């Protein structure tokens, strides 16, 4: 197991496979690096070095009481970049991980990064406000917190249905995928996963997105029931200078798993391009 001890004494678990140009993956909530297995195997087989960490509070990393917010997540990732001396890296973030990528680039710049990909990502802001009328009301996120507290295990099982679009007519449901999601969620810290709801829903990434000065690909499914495309991918693609947007008709939030072949092909084309 690869473990990085952070400056504050906490530890970060990460996978580091293969050789070549590094591709660094940031996972969604409440998952782990394992959520990227389909992408890491494929891109590793194409000759890239693929790296993914378990965010603090998740999976096999430390479970501190504090620090479950975007600045700390981004700074933890920066420590991993420095420890591995990564250069010319491609950053790929899904959902909450897309927020982590945006905040990293906003706080630490692009000196170590050549390209970025935001997939079903939470930026610029999920919460509905006067300036962000297309966002989701606070009651939605309060409901997530209440469900998490009431029965975390059942909540994660139930969440797989909208996450992967398994609640749509004719959907081909994989109980294995549902079990994997549940396991990844249950490995994490109850406190961290509770706190992260605030982090992914209330953090405004607009200024971070404005600072991105590298080629950026924004991928979003138009049937994303977790991070609706209107206040997310469509807006991010307008804010990031020169960003490329690709919308997938009918694809769900968890499309990196349910439609791995399509996502993998588009990632490879962008990285090579």
Q: Where are the beta strands (DSSP E) in 184-238?
A: 216-221
Q: What is the pLDDT of residues 2-15, one digit of tens each?
A: 999 999 999 999 99
* Catalytic hit among 26, 61, 62, 95: 95
The alpha carbon of 17 is separated from its chain's Cα centroid by a whole number of angstroms, namely 19
Q: Does residue 219 sit in helix, strand or coil? A: strand
- Dihedral over Cα of 6, 191, 144, 32: its sign: positive
- What pLDDT is attached to residue 177? 98
Distances (CA, A) of 94 to 69, 88, 91, 181: 16, 20, 10, 14
User: Are the beta carbons of 90 and 24 closer than 8 angstroms?
Assistant: yes
Q: CB count, 10 Å around CB of 131? A: 9
Q: How confident is the model over 13-56, as pLDDT tens digits?
A: 999 999 999 999 999 999 999 999 999 999 999 999 999 999 99
Residue 141 CA from chain centroid, whole number? 18
CA distances (Å), origin 111, targets 81, 114, 272: 11, 8, 19
| CB atoms inside a 10 Å sphere around CB 204 | 16
Q: pLDDT tens digits, residue range 114-148?
A: 999 999 999 999 999 999 999 999 999 999 999 99
**How many other C-beta atoms can be found within 10 angstroms of the C-beta atom of residue 100?**
30
- State the pTM of this model: 0.98
Angle, helix 152-163 to helix 175-187, in steps of 10 degrees: 130
The pLDDT, as a whole number, for residue 242 is 97
How confident is the model over 253-267, as pLDDT tens digits? 999 999 999 999 999
Quick one: pLDDT at residue 1?
A: 73
What pLDDT sits at residue 100? 98
224 is catalytic: yes
Q: How far apart are CA 166 and CA 124, in angstroms?
A: 26
| Whole-number pLDDT of residue 250 | 98
**Which residue is catalytic, options 34, 54, 208, 224?**
224
Neighbours of 210 (CB within 10 A): 13
Does the active-site annotation cover 253? Answer: yes
What's the rounded Cα separation, in Å, for the pair 33 and 2? 12
Mean pLDDT along residues 190-209: 98
149-158: long-range contacts, CB 8 A cutoff, minimum separation 24:
149/194, 152/185, 152/186, 152/190, 152/193, 153/182, 153/186, 156/30, 156/181, 156/182, 156/185, 156/186, 157/182
Token pair listed for 215: 């080629």
109 C-beta neighbours (distance < 10 Å), count:
14
- What are the pLDDT digits (tens) for 211-256? 999 999 999 999 999 999 999 999 999 999 999 999 999 999 999 9
């Amino acid at each position: 197991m690869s473990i990085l001890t952070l400056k504050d004494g906490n530890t970060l678990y990460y996978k580091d496979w293969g050789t070549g140009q590094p591709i660094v993956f940031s996972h969604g909530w409440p998952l782990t690096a394992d959520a990227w297995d389909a992408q890491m195997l494929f891109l590793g087989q194409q000759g890239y070095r693929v790296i993914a960490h378990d965010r603090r509070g998740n999976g096999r990393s430390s479970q501190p009481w504090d620090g479950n917010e975007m600045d700390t997540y981004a700074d933890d990732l920066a420590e991993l970049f420095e420890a591995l001396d990564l250069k010319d890296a491609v950053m790929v973030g899904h959902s909450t991980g897309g927020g982590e990528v945006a905040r990293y680039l906003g706080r630490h710049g692009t000196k170590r990064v050549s390209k970025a990909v935001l997939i079903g990502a939470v930026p610029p802001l999920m919460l509905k406000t006067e300036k962000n009328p297309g966002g989701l009301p606070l009651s939605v996120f309060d409901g997530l917190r209440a469900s998490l507290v009431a029965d975390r295990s059942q909540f994660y099982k139930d969440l797989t249905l909208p996450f992967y679009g398994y609640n749509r007519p004719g959907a081909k449901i994989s109980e294995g995928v549902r079990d994997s999601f549940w396991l990844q969620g249950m490995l994490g810290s109850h406190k961290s996963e509770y706190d992260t709801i605030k982090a992914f829903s209330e953090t405004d990434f607009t200024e971070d997105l404005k600072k991105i000065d590298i080629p950026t690909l924004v991928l979003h499914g138009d049937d994303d029931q977790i991070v609706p495309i209107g206040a997310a991918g469509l807006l991010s693609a307008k804010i990031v200078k020169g960003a490329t947007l690709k919308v997938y008709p009918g694809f769900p939030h968890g499309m990196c798993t349910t439609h791995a072949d399509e996502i993998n092909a588009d990632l490879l084309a962008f990285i090579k391009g």
